[in-house]
Amino acid sequence: MPGGFLIQMAGHAGAGKTTVAHELAERTGAAVLDLDTIKSALLDAGLDWDHSSRGSYAAIYALVEDLLSIDGAGVIVDSPSYWPEIGARLTDAAARHGARHLFVECVADEAVRARRLRRRPHRRSQVTGPGSNPPDAPPAMDELHRRSIHRPAGTTRIVVRTDGPSELRLVLDAVGFSAVGGLSRQLPGTGIPGFPPRRSSTMDVIDHLTEEHRKVEGLLAQLAESDPGRERQELLDDLESSLSTHMAVEERFVYPVVVDVMGEEPEQEAENEHGLARDGLRQMRDLVDEPGFGAAVEMVTAGISHHVHEEEHEVFPALRERASDRVAALGDPEELERRVRDVEGSGGDGGPTKEELYEQAKDADVEGRSSMTKAELAEALDES
């Protein structure tokens, strides 16, 4: 029947299929049939691995039939697409119901997938890490992550990279929905860069900054529990990137409004606290493999918690009450982040320090440089 579509997700564990499927569902109103949801429920109900596998695919095919019989319905089947039969069954169902069939394959670098797998909460049917099968799987079963993905012949294949800038536009265009930007959903329980947190179109910069506070607190809590090694390094990379971008957005776009609404003192205090947080980040980086790391995390956590409390209990409420129009005028928080990242490079460390930027501004004769924040200096230099 015309207007319907069937999206067949594909990709290895940790490639971001479910995240992309949910994002597509949110934007198109399609129903998601998630293999892991059904299979884990069947395992919970007492079925063994083999019966749960067969049962979950049987349920998916039956539900696809039901849903595609609804006029204009969109259905997303979320599975790795390891079996040729899946593509064959779905191609057949789509053809019979006159629905467009798209094959959307999610890909991400192996290291990124491994990192996601280590951090995400696992369902019973899911692999727990690279090379480790789900606990319910028969011991002799071949490793799930070594299987290959099967694309049905003649189906449009769209590849969505989830470990870097990527676009859902192609998928949305192909199913007849207008393009509305890139990926915006965060993998649950992770802070993977290149896959920023989701936000609804009604989320303004204050909602977003508040959400980011929770993310930073989560990363600090994980760092406090971490052991020296690669995972700690990666968590620290995430923290540096998130926090640097967060502080730059506040300093460049939000704190100028704070000065107007609350005066210079609270703004100066906030900037000083950002300075302390940056010092703390540097110290964490210096001590990343040392016994003093825990103490450095504790110090940053205490500083951030004080700062965040003030922002959320004093600064943000004041902005909401007295400058809601200016907050709204700041627009899409993702765009603000993009702008500070453009100025600051990756948004993490490694760029010039404020002092270096100040020296450059002096050389370039930038007016008002002595009262500028780091982000403002960078922007003024960018424009000069």
Q: How far is the CB of 314 from Fe ion (least distance, A)?
A: 12
Q: How far is the CB of 313 from Fe ion (least distance, A)?
A: 12
Helix (H) or strand (E) holding 55: helix 49-68
Exposed, middle or buried by CB within 10 Å (0-12, 13-18, 19+), for 112?
buried
Beta strands across the sheet bearing 156-161: 31-34, 74-78, 5-10, 100-107, 156-161
Q: How far is the CB of 181 from Fe ion (least distance, A)?
A: 24
- Taking the least distance from each CB to Fe ion, the nearer of 14 and 333 is 333
Q: How far is the CB of 5 from Fe ion (least distance, A)?
A: 41
Q: How many C-beta atoms lie closer than 10 Å to residue 76's C-beta?
A: 27
- Taken in order 187, 181, 381, 255, is the CA torsion positive or negative? negative
Question: Using CB under 5 A as the criterion, what x/- string covers residues 345-384 for binding Fe ion?
Answer: ----------------------------------------
Q: How far is the CB of 311 from Fe ion (least distance, A)?
A: 5
Helices 255-262 and 264-286 pack at an angle, to 10 degrees, of 150
Instruction: With contacts defined by CB under 5 A, name the span among 30-38, 105-113, 227-235, 247-255 that binds Fe ion.
Output: 247-255
- Taking the least distance from each CB to Fe ion, the nearer of 172 and 247 is 247
Q: How far is the CB of 151 from Fe ion (least distance, A)?
A: 44
Give the Å distances, CA to CA, from 319 to 254, 308, 322: 9, 15, 5
Question: Using CB under 5 A as the criterion, what x/- string covers residues 75-104 for binding Fe ion?
Answer: ------------------------------
- Taking the least distance from each CB to Fe ion, the nearer of 119 and 252 is 252
Q: Which residues of 289-305 are buried (b: 16+ CB within 10 A; e: fewer)?
A: eeeebeebbebbbebbe
- Taking the least distance from each CB to Fe ion, the nearer of 250 and 344 is 250
Instruction: Count residues binding Fe ion (CB under 5 A).
Output: 2
- Taking the least distance from each CB to Fe ion, the nearer of 147 and 214 is 214
DSSP at 147:
S
Say whether residue 250 binds Fe ion (CB under 5 A). Answer: yes
H-state helical runs in 250-315: 255-262, 264-286, 293-310
Tally of CA atoms within 13 A in the half-sphere of 202 that contains its CB: 0
Q: What share of the chain is helix, strand, coil (3-state, %, to 5)?
A: 60, 10, 35
Q: How far is the CB of 195 from Fe ion (least distance, A)?
A: 21
Q: How far is the CB of 380 from Fe ion (least distance, A)?
A: 21
Residue nearest Fe ion (C-beta atom): 250
- Taking the least distance from each CB to Fe ion, the nearer of 92 and 211 is 211
- Taking the least distance from each CB to Fe ion, the nearer of 87 and 333 is 333
- Taking the least distance from each CB to Fe ion, the nearer of 163 and 250 is 250
Residues 303-342 close enough to bind Fe ion by CB under 5 A: 311
Q: How far is the CB of 202 from Fe ion (least distance, A)?
A: 20
Strands (E) located in the chain:
5-10, 31-34, 74-78, 100-107, 156-161
DSSP at 29:
-
- Taking the least distance from each CB to Fe ion, the nearer of 184 and 242 is 242
Strands (E) located in 130-186:
156-161
Write out the residues near Fe ion by the rule CB under 5 A.
250, 311
